[in-house]
Structures are given as C-alpha cells and as structure tokens.
Amino acid sequence: MDARNIDYEYSRLILPVGPVHPSLKEPVNLSVTVVNEEIVDVNVKLNYIYRGIEYLAERRNIAQTIYLVERICGLCSQAHSLTFIQALEEIANIQPPERAEFIRVICAELERIHSHMLLLGVVAYDIGLDTLFMYAFKSRETVMDLLEKISGKRVHHDLNTIGGVRFDIDEDLRRLIIKELKYVKRNLDYISEVLEDATVENRLREVGVLPSKIAEELSVVGPTARGSGLTKDVRFNRSYSVYRDYKNSFKIVVLKDGDCLARVKIRVLEVYESISLIETLLDNMPDTPIRIGERILKIIKRIPVGEAISIVEAPRGQLAHYVYTNGGEGLKRLSVRTPTIPNITAVKYMLMHRQIADIPVVFSSIDPCISCANRVTVTDAAKNKTIIVNLENLRRRM
Amino acid sequence: MNITGKARLKSPWLFHLNTGSCNGCDIEILAALTPRYDAERFGCMLVASIRHADILLLTGPVTTQMHERLLRVYEQMPEPKAVVAVGSCAVSGGVYTGSPVVDGPADKFMPVDVYVAGCPPRPEAIVKGILEALRKFR
Ligand code: SF4
C-alpha cells in the first residue's frame, strides 16, 4: 500500500502525540493513525533532542569526554561512563584494581534499582494510580541518598575514571547501604502487593503484547526482551567486570507473557536480584587501592591509536559504545548504541489494534529514554521495514 | 492585588518543558514534587497543558529542533508568566556548549526570570527557584 493511495475515510485520523504532550516526559512524536478509535499505524519521530554528543566527543580530549558521555542520559549515567571507560581501558591496556571494579558494579546496580523504581512510578502515574507513583518515588529517594553518600552527587556521579574510581566505600557506608537496602526491600514488597490488585491488572494485563517471536525479530533488548520470554542479558551472555565471578549471586528474570504487566513485574523482580547482588559484593570487597596511581592527564597522553567496542547491561538493556582513539588525547570516532533504539521499534507492534487510552502506558512500559536515542528511526508501515537515517537525510525526506 | 493575583501566589501551576536535557534535571523536578521535597506544600502543581500554567520550568540547552516549539509554547502561555531555567544546560549550555545543533541557552531569545544552576540542581534548589519566580507576581 503506497502512502498516496490510502483512501482517507472519515473515520481515519492521524493523531499526533507529542513532542510536547502531558503524558510524555520527554519530547518524542508518535503520529498515530486511528480508525474508529482503533490504532492501525504508529510512526515514531525521535530527533527532538538531538544534541550532537558524538560530534562534541570527537572535538574534546578524553578527560573531558568522560564527563560528556556521562551526560548522555541522566538515568543511566553510570552505565554510559562504565561502558566508555571499559572501552578506553581496553585500548590503553590498563587493568583497574579489583576494588574499583566492585565499586563500579555496586553503583551500576544501585542505578538499576533507582531507574526501575522510576519506571514503576511512571507506569503507576500513567494508569492513574498516583499513590503508587508517590510511594515508588519515596523509596527511590533512599537509593538516591546512597548514591549521593558514595559520590557526592545524586544523578551524575562522575565516579569512573580511567584506571579506577574516584570515591571509595568505607566501612560505615557499607553498613549504611546494607541497612537502607533492607528498607527498600520492604517497600518493594508493598509495591508488588499493589501490583497484584485487580484494577492494576485490568489496566496492564494483555495490553501491549509482544510475542517472543516478534521480539526476537525486532531484536529488542533488556527487560522488554526478558518480559517476552527471551533470555537476553549482557551480564550473563557476555559478562564483564565482576559479573564474571558473581554470576551465581543473582538470577536472570524472564517472564513469558510479553504484556505490560510482565514488563512491570520484571522490574520489581530485578530490583530484588540487584539488592541481593549488591549485598554479596559488599561482603566480598577486596582490600586493594581504588585507582592506579597515575594521573588522568598523564594517562590520556599515552593512549595509543586503537578501537574497541564495549557492551554493558544498562537498566534498559544492552548498551554499546564504539570508541576509536586518535593517539593524541582525543577521539576519532565515538558511536553509541542505546537500548531505546531497538525497543522503540517494538512500540508500533505493541500498540497495533489497541485503544488510544493505552498509548501512554504501553509507551512507558518499555521505559524509553529518549535523551539516549540521538538518531532517528523511521518505521515504514507501507513497506513494513525499519530504516535508521541520520538527521541530514531526515531533513531531506520530510 | 486582585483576588486572582492572590490566589496565584498561593498556588502557582507549573509546566515542565524538556528542550534537549539529559533527563537528569527532569527527574530532579519530579523528585522535587514528590514526598521527600514536596513542592506541593507551596500549592505547586504540575499541569498537563501550558495554557494553564503560571511558571515554565525549562530544562536543556534548546536544540535546533526544539527551538521553534519552545517559542510556540512560550507564546501560548497566559500572562503573567515566569520562566525558570533549571540546570546548567538551560542556564549556559553546560556540557553541550559548542554543538552545532544547539541554539541555546534559552535566554538568547526569550526572557528568563530565574536561573537555577547545577548539573543537575538539587530538588531543594529547584523549589527555591520556583519560590523566587513567585516574586514576579507580587
Ligand atoms: S544540567 Fe546536567 S543534569 Fe541537567 S540536563 Fe544538563 S547535563 Fe543533564
């Protein structure tokens, strides 16, 4: 069917949702085609907050880029900088001390907890359950406090540096983390009780179903894939850092249903797993220094020309950085592939033949992070294929 | 001051617009409204439409794509209006300064009343910024 030949019946409407829309926290445009209240086509436009981070990274030195990369996204800042630093360390052939790796992973897991809590809150808000939204945010603050105690900052931790971390976790802090995580766990018990409620179930069950076959075809990642029964988790499949040795301290959570409820439940269960992993890691922290002695400005001078790909499991799924250094303190190329890019293509499938009222909750259930998705995905309904184009092409096309 | 003016001081309605931020500031705005920091005790409420809002909370360095939309949103806002720039990005461009696709910071092309610095600012600072903006309505 060619776009020009669609006969525009009266009932057929194109409904733009966004870029500035009450139910979306970030600028994204979903143009939804509806026939009598039923959604028949969805187009996603993502380029509203394209900030040219890759461009900037290629024009700054590596020490500056570490801070820039962290600011790709406020929710996965630790994941982004961890990925970037791992790639750099591979190129420079630097092995960070063991304790540093522990602290990195502890922070990454704390970040996963607060990010998943945020999703629980946002989904609750979208289905009109404001009490749960407030409740999830209250427990989330506890985790934010812990991150602040570790690094001094709530959102961007600026924790990683080449060859280690900048902040240590001492004995008092260790005990505090264990104590506070118990509180988070108690709150989580309550949240999972609320999710069993019949009203919540009616709003989420069998909404936005993504069968595992389609999920595999669209190569969705992270909790979205695991909610559809795929066993996809970088921490297991391609484990890195301390996950290699502590694979048995946490389980990979997979649910079969593929609906919004499954995706939400996955988040709750994963927080439990993260808590148990953090507890194990805190008990086994080795007593080494937290970074190598050399100063960062000296290190970046001796990073050779080289390229590396590093892949990490961010809260939303697999996050990959491709780094190509130029041998002169800078980067020749940085390419970032964020989990939202593959996941957002699944939104179209999930929304097909649903009602307009389901748009916010389905869209939030994949936990989109638009600020990460700095390129544009065009879903072509007529030809049923997905192409990724850059900004230039997009301007020409539209 | 008439009665609407008095009411406005007791319950400023907020609208939040992301013009290319990294999410950090947006989350902190949400955090400022939730129980721990509770901006709602000053009568603040996050509203869904700009046409109901008194204060515009602006985050991000204003990308080329969002430039027009920001101006449109600003024009749709009813008088009297106040604009609070939240975060280093909205104040000065922050880490994104020098990018060819960033047009901001916002005060290059529209009035900004209160600047809240920090990357991201703490929720307390955001609450303070909102209260500062209220002075404009006195
Ligand atoms: S000021 Fe910092 S936290 Fe806020 S949007 Fe900019 S980079 Fe993100």
Under the banding of pLDDT at 50, 70 and 90, the label for residue A341 is confident
Q: Which of B69, B95, B96, B102 to mutate to test the interface with A (most CBs of A within 10 A)?
A: B95
Q: Do B18 and A391 touch (CB under 8 A)?
A: no
Alpha helices in B11-62 (DSSP H): 24-33
> What would the pLDDT profile of A47-75 be if each residue is shown by its tens digit?
777 888 888 888 888 888 998 888 888 88
Q: How far apart are CA B94 and CA A68, in angstroms?
A: 10
What is the rounded average pLDDT of the residues B23-44? 87
Q: Does A301 score more than 90 pLDDT?
A: no
At residue A383, the pLDDT reads: 40
Option in B30, B31, B99 nearest A56 (CB) = B99
Q: Is the pLDDT of residue A365 over 80?
A: no
C-alpha span between A272 and A365 (Å, rounded): 19
pLDDT at B72: 86
Picking from B27, B63, B119, the nearest residue to A48 by CB comes out as B63
Cα(A26) to ligand 1 centroid in Å equals 14
Is A142 within 8 Å of chain B by CB? no
| Domains defined for chain B, CATH in brackets | 10-137 (3.40.50.12280)
Give this prediction's pTM: 0.87
Q: In this prediction, what percent of chain A has a pLDDT beyond 70?
A: 87
pLDDT digits (tens, 9 = 90+) for A194-221: 888 888 888 888 888 888 888 888 888 8
Of the partner residues B22, B34, B35, the one whose CB lies closest to the CB of residue A371: B22
Q: How many Å from the N-terminal Cα to the C-terminal Cα in chain B? A: 8
The answer to whether A19 contacts B66, with C-beta atoms less than 8 Å apart, is: yes
What was the ipTM of the complex prediction?
0.88
Beta strand residue intervals within chain B, DSSP E: 13-18, 45-46, 55-59, 82-86, 114-116
State pLDDT tens for residues A77-98.
Answer: 899 999 999 999 999 898 999 9
Confidence at residue B129, expressed as pLDDT on a 0 to 100 scale: 92
Q: State the pLDDT confidence band at A373, using cuts at 50, 70 and 90.
A: low
pLDDT of residue A395: 39
Q: How far apart are CA A51 and CA A374, in angstroms?
A: 7
Least confident of A10-24, A276-290, B68-82, B121-135: A10-24
Domain residue ranges of chain A, discontinuous segments joined by +: 53-340
CATH class of segment(s) A53-340: mainly alpha
Q: What residues line ligand 1, using a CB cutoff of 6 Å?
A: A 71, 74, 155; B 21-22, 24-25, 59-60, 87-89, 94-95, 119-120
Tokens found for residue A201: 């179930």
Q: What percent of chain B has pLDDT over 70?
A: 100
CB contact under 8 A, A68 and B35: no
